[in-house]
Amino acid sequence: MIDIKFLRENPDVVKENIKKKFQDNKLNLVDEVIELDVKNREAKLQGDNLRNERKTLSSQIGVLMSSGKKNEAEEIKTKVQEVNKKLAENEELEKKYSEEIKSRMMRIPNIMHESVPIGKDDSENVENERYGEPKVPDYDIPFHGEILEALGGLDLDAARRVSGQGFYYFLGDIARLHSAVLSYARDFMIDKGFTYCIPPYMIRSDVVTGVMSFEEMDDMMYKIEGEDLYLIGTSEHSMIGKFKDQMLKKDELPYTMTSYSPCFRKEKGSHGLEERGVYRIHQFEKQEMVVVCEPEDSWEWYNKMWNYTVEFFRSMNIPVRTLECCSGDLADLKAKSVDVEAWSPRQQKYFEVGSCSNMTDAQARRLGIRVKGENGNYFAHTLNNTVVAPPRMLISIVENNYQKDGSVKVPEVLWPYMGGTKVILPKK
């Protein structure tokens, strides 16, 4: 959510930002907010005038009573009651205007960073840089689901019987590899100075609407029936929610946290190849990084964070590239975002394995996360980034380490987490 003062003073800038995101249906929201804001400020001024009038009248009552002018005092009391009635009506009007303003402001996208490329959708994202040499072996690499099944590590049929499409059973060495990646990611981020966290896996609706747009909420979140609780789609949701309505101390910033959680997503719109195997699923586990910092430090943290993900993947010798998300592919709360994609030697292309985003103060405004400054209070900046999200991560590991005999080499950094297992062999 952007600053209403900024919108009031720069309506054309806000509208241009909306146009660059190809959301022209939201342009009317700007004019509606400005109109409601004028009415709301008029109502507030009226409220102040009524309170001053009530104060003046009330002060007269005591004087009249002490002077024995009881009848006149009673007349003033009647006037006070009339003022109270008008004040109550005015306060309801203020509340109505404030709610209508907020509902519209929550739908207006955050102001994008000036460097964000303009494009309608993810097909117009811009490649930044490649890390590592992508290779294609001189033998065929099977579909990742087939590799995992041949290694005795995946049972999708049983998962469909138990839970339906989009779920899985991991078994044996593949299950252990899945856990090994998460454990390595945890230690990798702890070594970077981040605090390890395990957050709640369910959050209330006021946290959901604080961390994401309504459109994202509808597409992603599973609601717990009969309760004001939602299953998290990423631990970022509950980690940022941790600071809801808090006044943070300036000298304690930044908060740098790395969090583990299972994640649950509806994944509306997945189709074709993405519905097979374990690429796009309803349940997965993830190691996340979250930063809450000073506004002037957020872009430095943004660059550090996505670089950590690149470093993490390269430590396992997996080629990756970074993609700058264009305006049309940028969620409403994001000021800038970069995706990290891993190389798929089977498909001979890259696929997304992580995403880093700077929300600037958009989430902080929604959730009331402020910093106590020397010259007044202000909103913090929040950022999030994927360290690793198995099981999608497993696709990049098995494809880039698949051998001609059907075995899969385990990246060296994972050996200690695999009990020394260096190669996973296919089952006879």
- Give the gyration radius of the chain's Cα atoms: 28
In this prediction, residue 269 carries a pLDDT of: 53
Distance CA 369, CA 250 (A): 12
In a structure prediction context, what are the per-residue pLDDT tens digits for the chain, which is 428 residues long? 899 999 999 999 999 999 999 999 999 999 999 999 999 999 999 999 999 999 989 888 878 888 888 888 888 899 999 999 999 999 999 999 999 999 999 999 999 999 999 999 999 999 999 999 999 999 999 999 999 999 999 999 999 999 998 899 999 999 999 999 999 999 999 999 999 999 999 999 999 999 987 777 777 899 999 999 999 999 999 999 999 999 999 999 999 999 999 999 987 655 444 456 888 889 999 999 999 999 999 999 999 999 999 999 999 999 999 999 999 999 999 999 999 999 999 999 999 999 999 999 999 999 999 999 888 999 999 999 999 998 889 999 999 999 999 999 999 999 999 999 999 999 97
In this prediction, residue 271 carries a pLDDT of: 46
pTM of the model: 0.90
Q: Give the pair of three-digit tokens for residue 413.
A: 């950094």
In this prediction, residue 207 carries a pLDDT of: 95
Residue 119 backbone dihedrals phi, psi, to 5 degrees: -165, 155
Domains observed in the chain: 4-105 (1.10.287.40), 122-424 (3.30.930.10)
Ramachandran quadrant class, 246 (left: phi over 0; alpha: psi -120 to 50; beta: rest): beta
In this prediction, residue 67 carries a pLDDT of: 83
Which residues are CB-neighbours of 50 under 8 A, at least 6 positions away?
83, 86, 87, 90
Its sign, for the CA torsion 355, 360, 364, 369, is positive
In this prediction, residue 204 carries a pLDDT of: 95
90-106 as b/e: b if 16+ CB within 10 A: beebbeebeebbeebbb
Q: Give the pair of three-digit tokens for residue 188.
A: 């990798």
Q: Give the pair of three-digit tokens for residue 144.
A: 């990742």
Q: Give the Cα-Cα-Cα angle 104, 108, 110 (nearest 5 degrees).
A: 145
In this prediction, residue 273 carries a pLDDT of: 43
Ramachandran quadrant class, 410 (left: phi over 0; alpha: psi -120 to 50; beta: rest): beta
> Cα torsion for 33, 36, 42, 45, to the nearest 10°?
-70
Residue 301 backbone dihedrals phi, psi, to 5 degrees: -65, -40
Q: Give the pair of three-digit tokens for residue 232.
A: 């998290």
Number of other CB atoms surrounding residue 368 within 10 Å:
13
